[in-house]
Amino acid sequence: MSGPTTSPKDGAAAARSGGTDATALDADALRRRVADLLTTHDPATTDRLDFLRARFDAGLAWIHFPEGLGGLGAPRALQQVVDQALEAGGAPDNAPRRIGIGLGMAAPTLLRHGTDAQRRRFLRPLWTGEEVWCQLFSEPGAGSDLAALATRATRDGEGDGWIVDGQKVWTSQAHLARWGILLARTDPDLPKHRGITYFVCDMTDPGVDVRPLRQITGEAEFNEVFLTGVRIPDTHRLGGVGEGWQVARTTLMNERVAIGGARVPRESGMIGLVADTWRRQPELRTHDLHQRLLKLWVDAEAARLTAERLGRQLALGQPGPEGSGMKLAFARLNQEISGLEVELLAEEGLGYDDWTLTRPELVDFTGRDAGYRYLRAKGNSIEGGTSEVLLNIIAERVLGLPPEPRTDKDAAWKDLPR
């Protein structure tokens, strides 16, 4: 099989992504490695999991990771070369959407803050999907103000471990997860940001109780997780005691990256659905709805172009502050467009497809009917940072406006009003 020829663009992208080493892998070298893997492990006759493990061991899982941890220390921009070559060769993928929290949040944090032993233990089954991860951060009393979290981790009197007690909420995948990345308070006498430690929690521990959290759509994407006397060995601590907030910043930065910046075609997502309805059912049209639809169409197109521009900047290694705005823009658009669609549908908008409590493994904001989309979109301005907090972040970090005066930053956590 002859691979496609290398375009000069690949080389330029490699140079920009930090491939300054003269021996850095180029696209051709990567395609050769993919070809070798496909020869030694023919996807047609190899068990899916065996293939994924072999891919990881060949350094073709996430090529920007170090050798021995599923990567080759190669430029991240060349990952698509590997993915395309593997797809063309009929290779199975690791169902990345199903293990998004592991790939997008736990893995970068393990890589940056984990010990060698932790990386070797956790990264391979995380990437292959053998072990699903969840995120135990938010609590009923700590949403936007995550650093106020109250789940306690205390030293296990008998040994070198920790005992954890508390309650986490909005935990997707907790019912499927083998491991959770956990933030817990280890020193209540310190100011809130300084008394937190980051752990890997074994979700099969008998003290972990996962309960579905039913939401306004009727389904339960998320869970509440009750932690009672959960034992965590000290070897499952990520970073130093009291350094959990700094470690968590790695995780949260990657969450924002994961949410913003995707490329979208014109009329994709919610606006495409309502435009289809508009074209298909002329009897529903009114002048008022027409004006509002056109405004939203323009807003959606403007947001699409903004994402397009951001994507180009990222590809050139010039990330702009625009990324922090995309989530805000799409939250507003999703809510307004789905609201308009329910109104447009009139009599049909009075109905709802199904209130049965289900536990979807994947979430599709544009899935199901307009009523579902309208309700699910309400979460878009809350999950992953409320729109109000994101506006503060833009005002302070992008525009450089002065912060609000705060009384909570330097006080001991135990003295804060709750």
Partner 1 sequence: MTTPAPPDLLYSETEDDLRAAVRSLLTDRGGPTAALAEAETGRPYDPDLWRSLATGMGTAGLLVPERLGGQGATAREAAVVLEELGRSVAAVPYLTSAVLAVRTLLGCDTARPEVAGPLAALADGTRVGALAVPLPTAPGGAPHGTVRGGAGLSGEITSVAGAAGADVLLVPADSGLYAVDATAPGVTVTPVTPLDLTRPLARVTLTGATATLLAEPARARTAVADALLTGAGLLASEQLGLAEWCLAETVRYTGGRHQFGRPVGSFQALKHRLAALWLDIVSARATARNAADALATGSPDTAVAVAVAQAHCGEVAVRAAQECVQLHGGIGMTWEHPAHLYLKRAKSDQIALGTPGRHRETLARLVDLPGPAG
- Binding stretches for partner 1 (CB under 8 A): 265-267, 272, 275, 278-279, 282, 285-287, 290-291, 293-295, 297-299, 301-303, 305-306, 308-309, 312-313, 316, 322, 325, 328-329, 388, 390-392, 394-396, 398-405
Closest separation between CB of residue 398 and partner 1, Å?
A: 6
Give residue 44's identity as a one-letter amino acid code.
Answer: A
Closest separation between CB of residue 314 and partner 1, Å?
A: 11
Instruction: For residue 263, give both structure tokens.
Output: 């490329």
Considering the complex, state which of residue 97 and residue 295 has its C-beta at the smaller distance from partner 1.
Answer: 295
SS3 state of residue 1 = coil
Closest separation between CB of residue 281 and partner 1, Å?
A: 11
Distance CA 252, CA 256 (A): 6
Task: Tell me how far CA of residue 115 lies from CA of 59, 84, 105, 185, 235, in angstroms.
Answer: 19, 32, 17, 21, 9
Phi first, then psi: give them for residue 300, nearest 5 degrees: -65, -40
Considering the complex, state which of residue 21 and residue 388 has its C-beta at the smaller distance from partner 1.
Answer: 388
Distance CA 231, CA 233 (A): 7
Closest separation between CB of residue 276 and partner 1, Å?
A: 9
Considering the complex, state which of residue 362 and residue 391 has its C-beta at the smaller distance from partner 1.
Answer: 391
* DSSP-assigned letters across all residues of 174-243: TTT-SEEEEEEES-TTSBTTTSEEEEEEETTSTTEEEEEE--TTSS--EEEEEEEEEEE-GGGEESSTT-
Distance CA 55, CA 93 (A): 10
What secondary structure, in 3-state letters, does 45-93 show? CCCHHHHHHHHHHCCCCCCCCCECCCECCCCHHHHHHHHHHHHHCCCCC
Angle (CA) 358-363-368 rounded to 5° is 70
Distance CA 252, CA 265 (A): 27
Closest separation between CB of residue 308 and partner 1, Å?
A: 6
Closest separation between CB of residue 296 and partner 1, Å?
A: 10
Considering the complex, state which of residue 202 and residue 336 has its C-beta at the smaller distance from partner 1.
Answer: 336
Closest separation between CB of residue 262 and partner 1, Å?
A: 14
Instruction: For residue 228, give both structure tokens.
Output: 């009672």
Distance CA 352, CA 372 (A): 7
How many residues are recorded in the chain?
418
Q: Which of 139, 221, 224, 255 is an active site residue?
A: 255
Cα-Cα-Cα-Cα torsion 49, 51, 52, 57, nearest 10 degrees, comes to: 130
Considering the complex, state which of residue 253 and residue 294 has its C-beta at the smaller distance from partner 1.
Answer: 294
Quick check: is 255 catalytic? yes
Considering the complex, state which of residue 235 and residue 318 has its C-beta at the smaller distance from partner 1.
Answer: 318
According to DSSP, the residues that pair with 134 across neighbouring strands are: 180
With beta carbons less than 8 A apart as the criterion, state whether 61 and 127 touch: yes
Considering the complex, state which of residue 294 and residue 346 has its C-beta at the smaller distance from partner 1.
Answer: 294
Query: Which of the residues are catalytic?
Result: 255
